[in-house]
Structure 1
Amino acid sequence: MTARLAIIGGGLSGLAAAYFARQALGADAVVDIFERSERPGGILRSASVAGRQVDVGAEAFVVRRPEALALVAELGLADQVVSPTGRRPAVWANDGLHALPSPALMGIPANVAAVGNLVDDADRLHIDAERQRPMDWPPGTDMSVGDLVDDRFGPAVTARSVDPMLGGVYSSLSADIGVREAIPALAARLDAGTPNLTDAVAGLLPAATNTAPVFGAVRGGYRVVVDRLLEAAGAQWHSGIEPALMGGPGDWQVADVGYDAVIVALPAPDAASLLADTVPAVAAELGNVAMAGSAVVALALPPDSVLPENSGVLVATGESLHAKAFTFSSRKWPHYESSDATWVRASFGRFRQPIAGDDHTLIGWAAADLARICDAAGVTVDTSPLDAVVQRWPSGLPVYAPGHLASMKRVFDARPAGLGFAGASYQGVGVPACIAQARKAVDAVVSEVAF
């Protein structure tokens, strides 16, 4: 019998699942991808800005996790991986630029020296005395990162260091993100009895001698990876379709066609709608996951523009800038060095902070914010763009609230045999995490179904 697998969702996770399924099931297997959009890749999306393909969704991946590098190498693209230039981001706080706290763990400083002049003297004393204050952390606690840092280091550290860092990863403020969800190693340290946050953070930081880059990107953008991944998967692409899912183990029905197994590679709310009639208990759990919207404005400035000597700027909570972050692509990535233009990305939007304004407004805000940042850095830049593209992500990322991972464990425990889940909603955001979850989903259904 020919193995038949349906994958619902054609973003990175669905494409990776198709690729791993092809490896597991062989050349004769039927692997079908159903995607409502005409374009594969999901949030791995590129757009032409001043004649160059620029990523307007995910831009980079963490190289200290192996999954993305390994997959890129398998696809024959290892020679296209580039490392950042080594410039560091700055933080915009109190209407000025500051050094990003270092050493730090997701913005949580390892000691008082790490915060520099980002906070006032009272906050510095509070941080320095943290080791002497009793800490209430019963093993298994799952509180928000914001509540933890507010209590141990003070709200200024949360707003000016942790929020900017987590906002870029999750499009949420730290008050909405669980410690166990975003920084599981930190929760494990505290569960094991580390008596204070200072020691817990310090114990998790890499050695100062570790100078290996944290991030990598692909020359030519993620579009190259998406195209190669779809080709290597050898899957049948069905676009413009939002299929119903019927049946059950051994006889799944997708778009009125029978399959041995199904992998749902959709955001949690979409998966909940799909499964409402078939697996209502799982759908109810998935329906509780909120999504955070965001938008990216890709700017091409005149080629002689002189940007600040940073890789970008993260914006503290409560500041008067509209954007939450800037990436100075021409400063951060060597493959963006060009005589044609200077490229910058501006990011907008967080959970519970809807993006107001049309595309023209967002481009104007990005240019005005950038002008203020450049002025504070002592450089004068004509921020009137040669070209600009706005990409909106109305529900781009799941909110990893306290209890999210426990909820997803209940989803996996309750799923029927032959039904897998892949995507950022489940066990981690970011490209490496999505690739890992796609492989787990394929491994699970292959082990459960007599293909």
Structure 2
Amino acid sequence: MHEADTRTDRRTDTPARPAHPGHVVVIGGGIAGLAAAHRLLADGARVTLLEAGPRLGGKLRSGELAGAPVDLGAESVLARRPEAVALARAVGLGEALQPPATATAQLWTRGALRPMPRGHVMGVPGDLAPLAASGVLSAEGLARIEAERALPPAEIGEDIAIGAYVADRFGREVVDRLVEPLLGGVYAGNAYRISMRAAVPQLFEAARTHPLLGDGVRDIQRRAAEQPRAGGPVFAGIDGGIGRLPLAVARACREAGARISTGTPVREFFRTTAGWRVVADGGEVMDADAVVLATPAGPAARLLDALAPAAAAELRTVEYASMALVTMAFRRSELPAAIAGGGASGFLVPPVDGRTIKASTFSSNKWAWAGADPDLFLLRTSVGRHGDEADLGRDDADLVEVSLRDLGEAVGLAARPVASTVTRWEGGLPQYPVGHLARVDRIRAAVAALPGLAVCGALYDGVGIPACVASATRAADVVMATLGAPLGTPGADH
């Protein structure tokens, strides 16, 4: 049943292929590894998935707080990309997909909560009127944007940091109070280092083809409005939490015959005259026709050291940001109207304002399933980003206290939580600095010299869930295309 569902719901240009008898080992049990396994099974492969840690799902994780379900990692998918939505439907979660109950975000900046201005793309303005009305920028900052109209087109070359480019065109205030908090919510990174080509490719192309970036922003918005899915929700969650998705994919894979093992680190894998051999830390040895490597950069580099040293060297240059999520449950009756009034989904905090928290999500407002209990209210804050991780050295209790302090200043919260939990994501998000896409091309080129091997995950094609699923689909298709083809001369015997 699941194979048929997968073939119906897949949205790719690759036609369905006849079943292959090959055995593929997938190393890594995050959403990318699971999606790769799901795709391989649909194409007829026999699959073994090995996850080093004690659980599946990577940065997607559900839990429970005060008896209520909560997401302890990623909480939504970009619904206007089809990959994650199609995967959820294929594994039986189609009816559980939900748009946010409210998507009214705010900015806590310049001493007040202010509405997120409309008419921008990732903080880059295309319309001054809503920006001026929001109070996010000073009069000097608004005047600096106006001056952009007189600037000649800029040369941006093959890539440029989005913060550097926008600061040059519109002034640093736009970057510090708009671009930074928005990009920080995606990458936990620094806008002055993040590649515009990799992170916001629409803006990169607009900047190359329009004399004014503002015109480019308006053109992006016009084209987005013309898309067939433009009337649907931009984001979607899953009833009970996005953390249900990897578990549902794993269940579907097992039902289709996959072997999935947690707590099984891979010591090494290498080529043989017949294909590949994978050796687990416990000593188990398995032969495979192909391997998909779906791990973060560090483990991937270690495993590729002997096989593809050029790829391993590139992988070791990938930097990661760490962060913590502080999830709290409150008695709804004790909350101020700014939180429990139902109008806002939360707020972002520009780092320039010097606060500890970087954002807060009012989960019980944002998601209908999280607001089902009339007496309980769930919210969470995030702490830490690349280059600004000192606060992560605090213990869990202290992170709860500093979150409460900032929430008190932002929205007047004085209540104590009835329950709280802190989830730490050490090295959770790969960074996409200038030149990242060229680095990915070099990694893939080195790996492509080894037929039957492919890589996928958040460090290659984007950190969002749909991008990870697309990366997994690409990797699965690459190795399936090689099954049955001669491997060439294998490497040294082990």
| Bin of the TM-score, shorter chain as denominator length | over 0.9
> Separation in 2 of the partners of 1:260 and 1:218?
35
Q: CA deviation at 1:208?
A: 10
Structure 1, 250-259 or 292-301: larger mean CA deviation: 250-259
Give the equivalent residue in structure 1 for 2:270. Answer: 247
1:404-444 deviation line (CA, Å, top 9, x unaligned): 01110111122121111111011111110011111110000
Question: Which residue does 2:464 correspond to in 1?
Answer: 430
Q: Distance in 2 between matches of 1:46 and 1:58?
A: 9
Shift of 1:135: 2.5
Whether contact under 8 Å (1:35, 1:242) holds in the other structure is: yes
Is the counterpart of residue 232 in structure 1 residue 252 in structure 2? yes
**Counterpart pick for 1:165 among 179, 182, 192:** 182
Correspondence 1:272-283 to 2 at 5 A: 272-283=301-312
Q: Which residue of 2 aligns with 1:66?
A: 82
| Other-structure match for 1:218 | 238
SS at match of 2:352: coil
Contact 1:111 1:127 in 2 (8 A): no
> Does the 8 Å CA contact 2:322/2:427 hold for their aligned counterparts?
yes
> Letter of the aligned partner of 2:246 in structure 1?
V
Cα 1:333–1:326 shift into 2, 3 Å = same
CA contact (8 A) 2:70 2:370 kept: no
Contact 1:307 1:331 in 2 (8 A): no
Q: Find the aligned partners of 1:383 and 1:278 in 2 and give their Cα distance.
A: 56
Q: State how far apart, in whole Å, the 1-side matches of 2:262 and 2:101 are.
A: 38
Is contact 1:170-1:398 (8 Å) kept? yes
Q: List per-residue Cα deviations over 1:17-39 (Å, max 9, x = no partner).
A: 1111110125xx2x111111111
8 Å CA contact 1:86–1:332 kept in 2: the answer is yes
**Partners in 2 of 1:111 and 1:223 — Cα distance?**
37
1:139-170 CA distance string (max 9 Å, x none): x4311111011111111111110000000000
Contact 2:454 2:479 in 1 (8 A): yes
Residues 423, 437 of structure 1: 8 Å contact kept: yes
Asked if the contact 1:35–1:240 (Cα under 8 Å) also holds between the matched residues in 2, the reply is yes
Among 328, 338, 343, the residue aligned to 2:362: 328
> Are 2:419 and 1:384 equivalent residues in the alignment?
no
TM-score (norm 1): 0.94
1:221 counterpart letter in structure 2: G
Measured after TM superposition, the shift of residue 348 of structure 1 is 0.8
The 5 A counterparts of 1:349-368 are 349-354=384-389, 355-368=392-405
Residue 94 of structure 2 corresponds to residue 78 of structure 1? yes
Report the alpha carbon displacement of residue 321 of structure 1 after superposing the two structures with TM.
2.0
In the alignment, is the contact (CA less than 8 A) between 2:69 and 2:370 conserved in 1?
no
> Which residue pairs with 2:22 in the alignment?
3
> How far apart are the structure 2 equivalents of 1:284 and 1:419?
17
State whether structure 2 residue 198 is matched by structure 1 residue 181.
Answer: yes
Aligned residues: 441
Structure 1 residue 212 displacement after superposition = 3.1
User: Can you list the C-alpha shifts for 1:79-131, whole angstroms capped at 9, x where unaligned?
Assistant: 10111123411111112111112111011111322322211112111112212
The 1:102/1:302 distance shift into structure 2, 3 A limit, reads same
Alpha-carbon distance in structure 1 between the residues aligned to 2:365 and 2:407? 14
- Are 1:270 and 2:294 an aligned pair? no
| Contact in 1 for aligned 2:22/2:483 (Cα 8 Å) | no
Deviation track 1:309-366 (CA, whole Å, cap 9, x = no partner) reads: 3111100122232100000111111222222410001011100111230101111111
Equivalent residue for 1:49?
65
Q: Corresponding residue for 2:225?
A: 207
1:237 partner amino acid: I
Q: Is the 8 A contact 1:330 1:336 kept in 2?
A: yes
| Residue aligned with 1:98, SS | strand
Asked whether the equivalents of residues 278 and 287 of structure 2 are also in contact (C-alpha less than 8 Å), the reply is yes
Read off the aligned partner of 1:248 and give its amino acid letter.
R
Contact 1:172 1:399 in 2 (8 A): yes
Match of 1:112 in 2: 128
Give the distance between the partners of 1:211 and 1:23, measured in 2 at CA: 31
Aligned to 1:121: 139
1:347 aligns with 2:382: yes
Which deviates the most, 197-206 or 160-169? 197-206
Contact 1:104 1:114 in 2 (8 A): no
Distance change >3 Å, CA 428–CA 121, structure 1 → 2: same
Aligned equivalents of 1:348 and 1:129: distance in 2? 35
* Structure 2 residues without counterparts, runs of 5 or longer: 1-19, 280-284, 486-494
* Aligned AA (2:352): G
Preserved contact between residue 293 and residue 395 of structure 1 (Cα < 8 Å): yes
* Shift of residue 238, structure 1, vs aligned partner: 2.1
Using the alignment, how far apart are the partners of 2:146 and 2:69 within structure 1? 47
Counterpart secondary structure, 1:128: helix
Post-superposition Cα deviations, 1:202-225, rounded to whole Å, max 9, x if no partner, equal 111133995532110000112322
Alignment check: 8 A CA contact 1:87 1:331 kept: no
CA gap of 1:208–1:339, structure 2 versus 1, over 3 A, is farther
Match of 2:491 in 1: none
Structure 2 contact 451–479 (Cα < 8 Å) conserved: yes
Cα RMSD, aligned residues only:
1.8
**2:266 match: secondary structure:** coil
- Provide the C-alpha distance between the structure 1 equivalents of 2:86 and 2:40, rounded to a whole number of angstroms: 16
Q: Which amino acid aligns with 2:260?
A: W
1:169 corresponds to which letter in structure 2?
Answer: V
Q: Which is further off, 312-321 or 422-431?
A: 312-321
Which deviates more from structure 2 when the two are superposed, residues 278-287 or residues 161-170? 278-287
Secondary structure at the aligned position of 1:326 is classed as strand
Aligned to 1:378: none
1:189 is matched by which residue type in structure 2? A
Equivalent of 1:24 in 35, 43, 62: 43
